[in-house]
Structure 1
Amino acid sequence: MTRQSFTSTATYIVAEDLSLAVNAAVTLEKPLLLKGEPGTGKTRLAEELAASLNAPLLRWQIKSTTKAQQGLYEYDAVSRLRDSQLGSDKVHDISNYIKPGKLWQAFTAEQRPVLLIDEIDKADIEFPNDLLHELDQMEFHVYETGEQIVAQQRPIVIITSNNEKELPDAFLRRCFFHYIKFPDADTLRDIVQVHYPDIQKQLLSTALEVFFDVRQMPNVKKKPSTSELIDWLKLLLAEKITPQQLQETKQKGGLMPLFGALLKNEQDVQLVEKLAFMARRRDGS
């Protein structure tokens, strides 16, 4: 197998430790389990990895109702019964009612794909255990047809989790794990420069100060993420907010302009307002 290397590109910034984790998982041929705050780019990483390898991306979005079997295949017995009642010749071939899932598609892809199993922690607690054999052995059995589906080549598997629930130890043993730390100010600058290369340095510096002030507030319920910072900066630029206006708001301790891009619930808005009020009283005394 040719060793792949994944690093930052002109359109995507990846930290060195994350780059090492991706390359290690590819080398070990193990699923890469990514954890981290929502908005830290876990899903985006799979998209960028596929693009950098010029490989197809197969995305399996996990929901609370998702079952592991759906990743293998689904048997549409209802359609077969209906066709049988209508006298269709299709009913004589049961494979007409077998719908391949994302794992089947990944195992039989002509080109080695990147398989993204997104937000695995949303599913039932047994979901990861139900995929142990398939992800480990890269094969499964189709009971209705008697077929054995074996991976032509091991797909690169990226699994993301927002840490909503613990994953089983047996599943974790089969993965290469990496926790995406929240970017520091220098890394965030690099990320912003990719999106807005012409942004004023002073505006960016002041915006980052405000952004980190909010993230470091005690008792904040939902810390703003990288993606929310990008959205906020887009609005600041669209509304032509100057660095001076932003700095003035910061000094007065009021709510930042267009705060709805950063604060996503009323508790956090009230918290910022309360802290701002207390700061103004302290400064006025």
Structure 2
Amino acid sequence: MKFATTDNYIATEDLTVAVNAAVVLQRPLLVKGEPGTGKTELARQVATALGMPLIEWHVKSTTKAQQGLYEYDAVSRLRDSQLGDARVNDVKNYIRKGKLWQAFDAPERVVLLIDEIDKADIEFPNDLLQELDRMEFFVYETGEVIKARQRPIVIITSNNEKELPDAFLRRCFFHFIRFPDIDTLRQIVGVHFPAIKPALLATALTQFFEIRGTPGLKKKPSTSEVLDWLKLLLAEDLTPEDLARDKVSLPRLHGALLKNEQDVHLFERLAFMARGQR
């Protein structure tokens, strides 16, 4: 079975090729792109389309690679030994399986999402090289080797906040999710809001791309943000005429699209300049 566009996710041709190529090569798929372009959702849709369970590992700045393998709770074992608990005789009682171990030990093939790997320190990707390559790791406390029953489909996302090591990149199949063009975005909106009126959608998308293309914008609005904006427009029951704006005003419900004061001030300055030219 191959991945393709689903009822809930519009995948471009180059994205479907990338997913299926990574599956055939048995390499992790490294997906980059602007925040809000559907990188995390891609893993969920791949799991659904291929009929596989999904295991999600959301990386934080404090996350260590070892946590993906397992964690040994030495403090609890010491406490239990002081209390005379019989559990201390088996160290396995104090081993907590990480997401990689869960994926390796799953009774069926799974999709493993390693989300926002660039949030962790630079050593994080390097510390996972061998485990992702060989699909096995050693548990020092028990002396056992954990091998994957079947190789999981690994999808790794990055917002490009920091460069990833070359040795790690060499082991991945790479794909950059480009921001969708207006036709693709129209299809994406159709999945989420099938009843939206064509006139409202046309006006909203035209205005959205004008906003996104404004020079000097610090953070361009993403796919997820335009969906939030459209949801608000529908909730307010606005018409294309309501949405139409001149150059001397901020966009309607702009808080869904402009996410920092610098960009709001930019549009306020543009509006002020436009008023002065009247």
In the alignment of these two chains, the number of paired residues is 278
* Deviates most, 198-207 or 85-94: 198-207
Distance in 2 separating the partners of 1:206 and 1:68: 47
Structure 2, unmatched stretches of 5+, are none
Counterpart position of 2:72: 75
Q: Which residue of 2 aligns with 1:45?
A: 42
Q: How far off is 1:241 after superposition?
A: 1.1
Q: How far off is 1:281 after superposition?
A: 3.2
1:122-201 aligned within 5 A: 122-201=119-198
- The 2-side partners of 1:21 and 1:85 are apart by 54
Residue 91 of structure 1 deviates from its aligned partner by 0.3
TM-score, structure 2 as length reference: 0.98
SS of the residue aligned with 1:222? Answer: coil
Which residues in structure 2 correspond to 1:253-264 (within 5 Å)?
253-264=248-259
Q: CA RMSD in A?
A: 0.9
Shift of 1:214: 1.3
CA distance in 2, matches of 1:58, 1:246: 41
Q: Residue 255 of structure 1: SS of its match in structure 2?
A: coil
CA distance in 2: counterparts of 1:9 and 1:140, whole angstroms: 35
Q: Which residue of 1 aligns with 2:227?
A: 230
* Percent of pairs with identical residues: 70
Secondary structure of the 1:208 match is helix
Matched, 1:270 2:259: no
**Partner of residue 83, structure 2:** 86
Residues in 2 aligned to 1:202 and 1:252: alpha-carbon distance in whole angstroms: 21
Q: Which deviations, in whole Å up to 9, do the C-alpha atoms of 1:64-116 show, x marking residues without a partner?
A: 11000000000000000000000000000000000110000000101100000
| Deviation larger for 202-211 or 38-47 | 202-211
Deviation at 1:245, TM superposition (A): 1.2
Query: What SS does structure 2 have at the residue aligned with 1:133?
Result: helix
Matched residue, 1:65: 62
CA deviation map 1:208-228 (0-9, x unaligned): 111111111111111101000
Amino acid at match of 2:180: P
Q: Secondary structure at the match of 1:182?
A: coil
1:281 corresponds to which residue? 276
Matched, 1:207 2:204: yes
Given the alignment of the two structures, is residue 102 of structure 1 paired with residue 90 of structure 2, yes or no? no
The aligned amino acid for 2:270 is: L
**How many angstroms does 1:175 deviate by?**
0.1
Unaligned runs of 5+ in 1: none
1:253 positional shift: 3.8
Query: Cα distance, 1:154 vs. partner?
Result: 0.4
For residue 280 of structure 1, report the CA deviation from its aligned partner. Answer: 3.5
For residue 53 of structure 1, report the CA deviation from its aligned partner.
Answer: 1.3
> Separation in 2 of the partners of 1:209 and 1:271?
19
CA–CA separation in structure 2 for the residues paired with 1:196 and 1:253:
30
Distance 1:62 1:243 in 2: 41
- The alpha carbon displacement at 1:252 in A equals 4.1
CA distance in 2, matches of 1:61, 1:9: 24
Structure 2 distance, partners of 1:53, 1:245, is 43
Shift >6 Å, 4+ stretches: none
